[in-house]
Amino acid sequence: MWQAVHVRERLSSLNPGTEVVILGMTTKGDQILDRPLAEIGGKGLFIKELEVAMQEGKAHLAVHSMKDVPMVMPDGFVLAAISARENPRDAFVSNNYASLDELPAGAVVGTSSLRREAILRAKYPQLVIKSLRGNLDTRLKKLDAGDYDAIILAAAGLIRLGMENRIKAVLTAEQSLPAPGQGALGIELIDGAAAMADVVAPLNDPETAHCVKAERAFSRALGGSCQVPLGGYAIIDNGQLWLRGFVASVDGSEMVSAELRGNPADDEALGRQLADMLRAQGAEAILARLACK
């Protein structure tokens, strides 16, 4: 909802006199909280109802966290704008410990992400990793109730909701490579809605868009919208797009990673090239062992 309000305010300021109304909806991804996301259909559960509302003419656009948008867009829809990124990194949240390294053996860490789970199991095998679903308030309440010793969340969500004070440490990309699209917002439209595309075009941030397109192309080439422990993160560094990525087994016992640099205009080609580099290291064998249907 914060994301929708943020976009509404930006559109209102860009289009004085135009009324921008929020159609609040709760998706299946928000409703089914007792099972890991990978078991109930993946990230598409967060956007299907919104797409139906657009098809039925009840809504003109949908606002998404880019890390929750499936890597293969359904026919008839398009991502028309990707806004400037908030902090894309993961955050360590705990009431009793200042960092992952301080956690004692047997400490319980909560996460809803296969990517974070694989990283934690690889780097901190002494910790107990448990699934954590729900909105931000729900996850923090479970931490405060003592169900977990620490939880890992997207820093962007905490910052946007004014909860930055709950962050004990922001993990570096070297500690926990972010998910493709993490920290960025995307605007989805019905494909061919030219008038609306013109309206939302000013929300697009070219630098962020190049980075997210590279990250998504990398992920798409290694499994599309399947649930895969995968990280992909790009920045513009000295005029070049610097893309890093990895694929791992859920238990963290297998992991391959690589990085490359290139022209930002070649964003999607760079993403596919990085995927090929991981395949050359054995990524296909890891992917073949995952339950990716």
Residues 86 and 154 sit within 8 Å (Cβ to Cβ): no
Query: Residue written as tokens 């109930």?
Result: 40
Tell me 168's DSSP state: S
Active site residues: 68
Q: Are 171 and 242 in contact (CB under 8 A)?
A: no
Round to whole Å and give the CA distance between 210 and 190: 22
SS3 assignment, position 262: strand
Cα 28 from chain centroid? 17
3-state secondary structure of 233: strand
E strand or H helix at 269: helix 267-280
Whole-angstrom distance, CA of residue 34 vs CA of residue 20:
35
Cα–Cα distance for residue pair 96/262, rounded to 1 Å: 43
For residue 26, the tally of other CB atoms under 10 A from its CB is 8
